[in-house]
Amino acid sequence: TVEGPKRVAALQAAKKKRSKTEESSADPVFMFNRFAGLFPELREDLLEERAKYATVRPILFTRASILPRVSALLAQKGNDGQVQKLAELCNDLYENGDFDVRSILTMIILNGLDEAAVKERLAPHFSEDMAKGYKAGLKMRGKKVKPEKVKKQSRVVAEALKNNQGK
């Protein structure tokens, strides 16, 4: 089925949301584009994800598309250049990324890989911050983490914000 106005409205809302965020920090979509430089076949998966859901679902996309490719890369022997590029990419994204990017890197990608392969092939190339993040992420491996609850605003503050938006 074809959905014209709904699809366009969803894309515009996603674009508007993206433009309001800080330009200096890397968001998950930026991270996926950087991984697409290392794994060119990810570009097609990104396009399919955007076409199907109007945006990229960061956690599910990482588990379905990025994790198997990184796992296969680490399982292959003799491609140390690509492994080093992957480690440099992780270091850069961890240093410059927002909290979503950091959590995706540590909790989903690194905790989803074989621990021996990461320690043997990737960890020697990690920066100091990335190594600390990986070590902290290992402590949370296999545990269920609940998302942070959004606090309700008091009625007075909510009304004041509503009045300011109308002007």
Give the model's confidence band at 21: pLDDT under 50 very low, under 70 low, under 90 confident, else very high: very low
Average model confidence (pLDDT) across the chain:
82
Q: Read off the amino acid at residue 43.
A: R
Phi, psi of 140 (to 5 degrees): -95, 0
CA 4, CA 35: separation in Å to the nearest integer?
31
CA 101, CA 113: separation in Å to the nearest integer?
17
Q: What is the pTM of this model?
A: 0.71
Q: Environment class of residue 15 by beta-carbon count within 10 Å: exposed (0-12), middle (13-18) or buried (19+)? A: exposed
Lowest-pLDDT choice from 14-18, 37-41, 83-87: 14-18
Higher pLDDT, 18 or 25: 25
Question: How confident is the model over 109-167, as pLDDT tens digits?
Answer: 988 988 888 889 888 999 999 999 999 988 888 888 777 777 776 666 666 666 766 55
pLDDT attached to residue 22:
47
Higher pLDDT, 74 or 78: 74
pLDDT attached to residue 10:
66
pLDDT attached to residue 5:
58
